[in-house]
Amino acid sequence: MTLKLDKVNRGPHLSTLVASSISREIAQGRLKPGDQLPTEQQLAQTFGVSRNVVREAIARLRSEGRIWSQQGRGAFVADQPNATTLTIDYEALQQAAAFQSLFELRGILEVEAAALAAKRRTGDDLTAMKEALVTMRDAPYGSVMWLKTDLEFHKTVAAATGNLYMVQFLMFVSERVRESILASGNQQRSEDLAAVTLGEHQRILDAIEAGDGDEARDAMRAHLHGAANRVGLAGEQPE
């Protein structure tokens, strides 16, 4: 078994890059079902990263159904690594067309999620949204923490739909979007943009709190249109 593994470039998502590289070996048949992966130490040396980074990558591959692990034996390629698991290749998202397609998918989901949330939200849901927005205001605009708290706000909106699959699928897509934004460095940064973005989120929250599904849908659509512009994307938003 000859693997084509190289050291990964330094960045905020080393574990994602490691997982993507191993996934590529599986997809291209150099790692076959049942094959044992190199040890954590070997992978760490090969990629030039810490063992903690390797553990995070292995955990991600395991959650995606690509590999399985056994205590004391190591990690192995799953028999059918792509049979039922949705995966989005990290490196493919560095291409503008792929990233725009993913952002478009996110928009379709989030616009309808906001409308559903306006109809189904509970008092606890509204409290969670407000807390997420307060935390977001305290984070430096465009930073890793800002994007993390932004994602948390959108997660609370998805949770307010009461649809577990909506939460899981939307968070999967949104996390891939967040990773790509961080890796590309395309996020614009300014105090004016921070105020605009926070205002967009407040409008979404106000509409959901008022129980106005149409306004929540419009507010989310407007926010995603603005977000697309801020990361250098163009194109129509979901109607």
Position with higher pLDDT, 15 vs 126:
126
207 and 119 Cβ atoms separated by less than 8 Å: no
Q: Closest Cα partner for 205 from 195, 216, 221?
A: 216
Q: Closest Cα partner for 183 from 85, 95, 86?
A: 95
CATH fit for domain 14-77, picks 1.10.357.10, 1.10.10.10, 3.90.1150.10, 3.40.50.20: 1.10.10.10
95 and 48 Cβ atoms separated by less than 8 Å: no
pLDDT at 233: 72
Domain with CATH 1.10.10.10 in the chain: 14-77
pLDDT at 210: 98
Is the pLDDT reported for residue 235 higher than 60? no
Instruction: Classify domain 93-230 by CATH architecture.
Output: Up-down Bundle (1.20)
* Average pLDDT of every residue of the chain: 83
Look-up of token digits 């507010």: 219
Q: What is the CA radius of gyration of the chain?
A: 20
High-pLDDT (> 70) share of the chain, %: 81
42 and 54 Cβ atoms separated by less than 8 Å: no
Residue 127 binned pLDDT confidence (cut-offs 50, 70, 90): very high
